[in-house]
């Protein structure tokens, strides 16, 4: 997806191979777990508003379902590739395993720019995705959800298409639905909140008072927004946010050393789809280039955008003040950067632990749909905080016990759980 020499699927395999070696996994198990078990590549023709037909490329990858149905979002992005989807589905397997929910890993993608499609074209694309895929998804097979570029309304169109084809109601077929239509309260904020729940535990473990910390965030989509909201509510100071600007087609970093007003930035974003430079200036923000989020003198970096953002090429710009990296995005750090982070003694909260709040809440959504009884927001968020805290503590303990880097410790737990399920099923 990013113009980078790094391929996310290769990155995911490098991370896996390293820990497979630590665990001394048997060769057949390694071969099974280092690639998706099943993938679909197909095209979706859409009649556009101007009367022409446009053909969109679509993917769904189910990496592993030994622990339960595949689970993972659908990404709408113009640069989406099969390898992105493969990597993301693999990371979903580890994500569900590390938080110990009974689901496997899946991911989907459509090569498209949702910003330029009309609502009618979007609906047609969403329905076409399900028509191409309905034999492969379902509440007990593979359960999609939102990801970059996709929203609750898209999930509902997909559900409606699935239910129209199958002739019955299957609310657990997809998650991230609108509240009132089978969606869970708390799902919108779940991923960002989960980032902060794990960060709070990391800060406690390091003896750091959150109210004395500052953070710089890459991205200002759903994950970044709710991470910023909760972090500031708890007393932290977000001094920089880097965000894509739809008009200029480039990213800017918005900075205020006294702390950004997150609500006001959200208001600007909600009004126009991205943060307008002039409006940000009127709030007292300094406007810097898009990469500057990485070189800020802060305690915490939260990469909450796309993959391959922190590499050995730009690692040097990270300030010595940085003591924590909380990976809200999937795969934001390349594998060859992990040793540099470790050497600097930066506390790493790896992606598939740190951003597992979204899928954990998706699981709660499925549970509520199955019961046809919905919890209030506080109940959802309490359960989410409990699950994330428990997962963090387990990973931290393994990292201390076995003297492992946090990412490797998270992999040890996740891979062991999946490998055990594979063995018990008699697959390897
Ligand atoms: N797209 C989110 C992720 O990458 C959520 C997936 C889900 O809820 O299934 O974790």
Half-sphere exposure of 421 (CA within 13 A, CB side): 22
Quick one: CA torsion of 173, 174, 175, 180, rounded to 10 degrees? -80
Q: How far is the CA of 174 from the centre of ligand 1 (A)?
A: 11
Nearest to 380 by CA among 367, 396, 366, 364: 364
Active site residues: 107
Distance CA 75, CA 88 (A): 10
Residues 6+ apart with CB under 8 A from 4: 308, 311
Rounded to an integer, the average pLDDT of 398-417 is: 98
pLDDT exceeds 90 at position 1: no
Residue given tokens 């099974």 in the structure block = 32
Distance CA 215, CA 322 (A): 9
At 2 the pLDDT is: 44
* Each residue's pLDDT tens digit, 359-403: 999 999 999 999 999 999 999 999 999 999 999 999 999 999 999
Ligand 1 atom, smallest distance to 147 CA? 1
Q: How far is the CA of 145 from the centre of ligand 1 (A)?
A: 6
The model carries a pTM of 0.97
pLDDT exceeds 50 at position 116: yes
pLDDT exceeds 80 at position 220: yes
At 272 the pLDDT is: 86
Q: Is 175 in the pocket of ligand 1 (CB under 6 A)?
A: yes
Gyration radius from the chain CA atoms: 21
At 4 the pLDDT is: 67
Half-sphere exposure of 364 (CA within 13 A, CB side): 28
For residue 315, how many other CB atoms are within 10 A of its CB?
A: 16
* Each residue's pLDDT tens digit, 152-189: 999 999 999 999 999 999 999 999 999 999 999 999 99
Q: Is 72 in the pocket of ligand 1 (CB under 6 A)?
A: yes
Pairing of strands 38-47, 53-64: antiparallel
pLDDT exceeds 60 at position 131: yes
Residues 318, 282: contact at Cβ < 8 Å? no
* Each residue's pLDDT tens digit, 310-367: 999 999 999 999 999 999 999 999 999 999 999 999 999 999 999 999 999 999 999 9
Pairing of strands 53-64, 105-111: antiparallel
Q: Is 186 in the pocket of ligand 1 (CB under 6 A)?
A: no
Residue given tokens 């709070």 in the structure block = 200
With cut-offs at 50, 70 and 90, classify the pLDDT of residue 415.
very high
List the residue whose alpha carbon is closest to atom 9 of ligand 1: 72
Q: Is 358 in the pocket of ligand 1 (CB under 6 A)?
A: yes
Q: How far is the CA of 286 from the centre of ligand 1 (A)?
A: 33
Ligand 1 atom, smallest distance to 73 CA? 1
Q: How far is the CA of 283 from the centre of ligand 1 (A)?
A: 33
Ligand 1 atom, smallest distance to 95 CA? 10
Q: Which of 8, 72, 87 to mutate to test the pocket of ligand 1 (most atoms within 8 A of CB)?
A: 72
Residue 20 CA to its chain's centroid (Å):
23
Nearest to 93 by CA among 35, 139, 136: 35
Q: Is 101 in the pocket of ligand 1 (CB under 6 A)?
A: no
* Each residue's pLDDT tens digit, 242-284: 998 888 889 999 999 999 999 999 999 999 888 989 999 999 9
Q: Is 341 in the pocket of ligand 1 (CB under 6 A)?
A: no
At 211 the pLDDT is: 98
Q: Is 409 in the pocket of ligand 1 (CB under 6 A)?
A: no
pLDDT exceeds 50 at position 308: yes
Residue given tokens 């109210």 in the structure block = 211
Q: How far is the CA of 386 from the centre of ligand 1 (A)?
A: 18
Distance CA 110, CA 418 (A): 28
Nearest to 44 by CA among 155, 123, 106, 156: 123
């Amino acid at each position: 997806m990013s113009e980078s020499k790094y391929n996310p699927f290769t990155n995911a395999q490098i991370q896996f191979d390293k820990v497979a070696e630590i665990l001394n996994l048997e060769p057949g198990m390694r071969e099974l777990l280092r690639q998706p078990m099943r993938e679909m590549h197909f095209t979706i023709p859409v009649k556009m508003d101007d009367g022409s037909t446009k053909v969109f490329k679509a993917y769904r990858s189910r990496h592993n379902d030994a622990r339960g149905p595949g689970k993972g979002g659908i990404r709408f992005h113009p640069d989406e590739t099969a390898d992105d989807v493969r990597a993301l589905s693999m990371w979903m397997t580890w994500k569900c395993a590390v938080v110990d929910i009974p689901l496997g890993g899946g991911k989907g993608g459509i090569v498209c720019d949702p910003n330029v499609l009309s609502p009618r074209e979007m609906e047609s694309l969403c329905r076409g995705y399900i028509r191409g895929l309905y034999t492969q998804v379902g509440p007990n097979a593979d359960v999609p959800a939102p990801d970059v570029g996709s929203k609750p309304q898209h999930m509902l169109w997909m559900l409606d298409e699935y239910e129209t084809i199958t002739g019955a109601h299957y609310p657990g077929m997809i998650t991230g639905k609108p509240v009132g239509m089978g969606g869970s309260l708390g799902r919108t904020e779940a991923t960002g909140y989960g980032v902060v729940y794990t960060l709070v535990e990391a800060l406690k473990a390091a003896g750091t008072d959150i109210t004395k910390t500052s953070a710089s965030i890459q991205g200002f989509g759903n994950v970044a927004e709710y991470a910023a909201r909760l972090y500031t509510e708890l007393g932290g100071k977000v001094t920089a946010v880097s965000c894509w600007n739809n008009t200029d087609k480039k990213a800017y970093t918005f900075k205020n050393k006294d702390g950004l007003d997150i609500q006001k930035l959200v208001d600007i974003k909600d009004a126009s789809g991205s943060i307008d430079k002039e409006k940000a200036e009127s709030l007292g923000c300094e406007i810097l280039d898009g990469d500057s989020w990485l070189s800020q003198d802060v305690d915490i970096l939260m990469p909450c955008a796309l993959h391959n953002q922190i590499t050995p090429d730009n690692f040097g710009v990270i300030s010595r003040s940085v003591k924590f990296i909380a990976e809200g995005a999937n795969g934001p750090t390349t594998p060859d950067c992990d040793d540099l982070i470790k050497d600097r003694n930066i506390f790493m909260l790896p992606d598939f632990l740190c951003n597992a709040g979204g899928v954990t809440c998706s699981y709660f959504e499925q549970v509520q749909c199955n019961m046809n009884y919905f919890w209030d927001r506080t109940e959802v968020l309490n359960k989410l905080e409990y699950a994330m805290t428990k997962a963090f503590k387990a990973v931290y303990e393994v990292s201390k016990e076995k003297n492992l880097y946090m990412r490797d410790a998270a992999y040890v737990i996740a891979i062991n759980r999946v490998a055990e399920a594979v063995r018990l099923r008699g697959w390897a």
